[in-house]
Amino acid sequence: MNHTVYSVEGKELRSIELDDAVFGLPVNEDVIWYAINNELANRRQGNASTKDRGEVHGSNAKPYKQKGTGRARRGDKKSPVIVGGGVVFGPKPRDYSYAIPKKAKRLAIKSILSLKAQSDTLKIVEDFSVDSGKTRDLVGLLKNFGDNVRTVLVLKDDDPKLKQAAANIPWLSYLSYTRLSAHDLFYGRRVLMLETAAKNLSGFYAGETQEAVE
């Protein structure tokens, strides 16, 4: 499929041929949902913790005698039904991460790229860098492509200056073309991809075919 390449000033420069195997696939919504939920689960810290009645600090003494008070029998002050007592079946630190098949993850990324390309949310931009590493210089470039909406910038390589400039922009996230995030790509209202990254993606996914994920 053909796609327009834009200059850093936001003007049309030329046309580029994108690989249909990466940018022209039917959108597989199921595998996209599968990949996004996997990424969110892997990001969870899983460090929530509560104390049960055996871990709460307090006396083990019986608070009052068994009979004659008219109240319920009470073993200790750490009972879950008492304020300040232990928690029943509360969360404990755990690992929420899990793995999904590599083919499923890659199919999800290609489906999202195809979705963005078909909806004109994807813009291919000529290769550029921010030699100064300053945020204001990068913001000035991004203004040529519209308002400050949730934007994803796909890099062609590890550009430390560009990453430094992008680090302080709250509505911008940057990704390497070799480590794309299904969550960031899907929820990005605008995807700016450097021209070399777009070309390299075809080679990165070379030889892969779309397969159904059951």
- Residue at 64 is within a domain: no
In a domain? residue 71:
no
Tell me whether residue 131 is in a domain. Answer: yes
User: How many domains does the chain divide into?
Assistant: 1
Q: What is the CATH number of the domain that holds 15?
A: 3.40.1370.10
Q: What are phi and psi of 207, to 5 degrees?
A: 85, -5
Q: Does residue 62 lie within any of the structural domains?
A: no
To 10 degrees, what angle do helices 29-43 and 102-118 make? 120
Counting residues of the chain whose pLDDT is more than 70, the rounded percentage is: 96
- Tracing tokens 């390497």 back to the chain, one arrives at 176
The pLDDT score that the predictor gives to residue 214 is 42
Domain containing 167 equals 2-29+100-204
* 74: in domain: no
The answer, yes or no, to whether residue 115 has pLDDT greater than 90, is yes
C-alpha–C-alpha distance, residues 140 and 153, integer Å: 15
Question: What pLDDT was estimated at residue 208?
Answer: 52
Confidence grade of residue 206 (pLDDT, cut at 50, 70, 90): low
For position 213, what pLDDT does the model report?
Answer: 42
Residue 111 inside a domain? The answer is yes
The span from the CA of 117 to the CA of 72, in Å, is: 68
pLDDT at 43 over 60: yes
For residue 194, being part of any structural domain is answered with yes
Q: Let me know if residue 51 belongs to a domain.
A: no
Q: What is the pLDDT of residues 116-133, one digit of tens each?
A: 998 889 999 999 989 898
Higher-scoring residue by pLDDT: 37, 156? 37
Specify the pLDDT at position 148: 86
Question: Per-residue pLDDT averaged across 66-90, rounded?
Answer: 91
Q: How confident is the model at residue 212 (pLDDT cuts 50, 70, 90)?
A: very low
The per-residue pLDDT for range 155-186, each reduced to its tens digit, is 988 888 999 999 999 999 999 999 999 999 99
* pLDDT(105) > 90: yes
Q: Return d(Cα 193, Cα 18) in angstroms, integer.
A: 12
